[in-house]
Amino acid sequence: MRVVELEALQVRIPLKRRVTHASHSRSETENLVVRCILSDGSVGYGEGVPREYVTGETIDTCWELLRRSALEEQLGEEIPDFVAGVRLAERLQIAPVEEDERQIIGKATRCAVELALLDACGRAFGEPLSRVAEILAPELYQFRPQVRYSGILANPRGWKRRLYPLVYRWTGFEHVKVKVGIKGEDEVKRLSVLRRYLGRRIDLRVDANEAWSAGEVIERIRELEPFGISCVEQPVAQEEVSCLAEVRRQVRIPIMLDESVCSLRDAELAIRHGWCDLFNIRLSKCGGFIPSLRLVQLARQHGLGCQLGCQVGETAILSAAGRHFATSVGGLRYLEGSYDRYLVREWLSREDITIGWGGRAPALAGCGLGVTIEPQRLAVVAVRREMLIGCGRKSE
């Protein structure tokens, strides 16, 4: 068994509504999808969501890195079983970028290639993606037949501002995250209203998306303490993250890092200098399933918590990968993702794996990702494609 074809596709996914937070606003997303075919005909899919303001990647960066990464040489060996496929995926490297001291550029690209290979190998050898955690991190492995995802509140307007929190409360969500730091908002008033509508039983946390400066962050966090906030995510920009060691000494609410933890190097610095209490692990941002596992291992070794996050515009490919991660890695504090039906206009999978009542979602049965990607639907949203291995390496 070996890789005989590897194709990259740039897909443009329109969103059902404009999503706004302190760092960005978007109504569509440009994602990288990779299709991997093995010599037995097994087909696997992977996805990456490049975000320049997170890892310095654009969709054009992805194409450049794919061409420079010698993928045919890296993926040319025989794959006798699923474990060998997992080990091959673990060794996968994307070409380095000069002056990338944080070693973060190329994470979305690597994620797409890695997931495509793992999905194909899973289908070929009859194994689910969740087996990767059992193989590579048995101390983290904890299979759960069902998990509970968080609700997300960005910046709804008008009647939606009161309806959405009530829906989360009535449908039994356990966790809700609120985007804060949005220009022109009175966050204290807003959180007061939200807490009243959500009730006291729901675990409420906030995400500032780098909105606050080092000089104001302590005051901003203290203002939110009366509302029973369980965590503050990425309160300052990456350039000012060193201030968080002192912030943690002066506030009671735990600090989570997101944009500032995209690689092992980032994570090691955060641990060494005491910048946070939790990491937000997002598969695309962190380079795939396996690098994300390694980040959770590192956090666990140093007594830090982890959240499984997601990125706006993920299709069923990343949603399914995230579900396997959520149902196989124990001890994750919060879960985000699988918002498919509520957010993206174009379906890529035959199955609907959107979260259900109260954020509940079952483990995915089946091999590989456990979802069926429809080539016809993929063709509708593809705006560019290039064969990286096999078939004359065509591009269009």
Report the b/e string of 351-388 with b at 16+ CB within 10 A: eebbbeeebebebbeebbbbbebeeebbeebeeebbbb
Detail the residues annotated as belonging to a binding site. 207, 233, 258
Structure tokens at 36: 């991997």
Q: Are 315 and 322 in contact (CB under 8 A)?
A: no
d(CA 210, CA 102): 18
* Those residues with Cβ within 8 angstroms of residue 78's Cβ, 6 or more apart along the chain or in another chain: 1, 2, 84
Beta-sheet pairing, 360-362 with 146-148: antiparallel
Q: Are 36 and 5 in contact (CB under 8 A)?
A: yes
Q: What angle do CA 96, 98, 103 make, to 5 degrees?
A: 55
Rg of the chain over Cα atoms, rounded to whole angstroms, equals 20
Q: Kindly give the interhelix angle for 107-125 and 289-301, rounded to the nearest 10 degrees.
A: 110
Q: Are 164 and 154 in contact (CB under 8 A)?
A: no
The torsion angles phi and psi of 325, rounded to 5 degrees, stand at: -65, -45
Detail the residues annotated as belonging to a binding site for Mg(2+). 207, 233, 258
Q: DSSP letter string over 129-195?
A: TTHHHHHH-TTTB---SEEEPPEEE----TTHHHHHHHHHHHTT-SEEEEE---TT--HHHHHHHHH
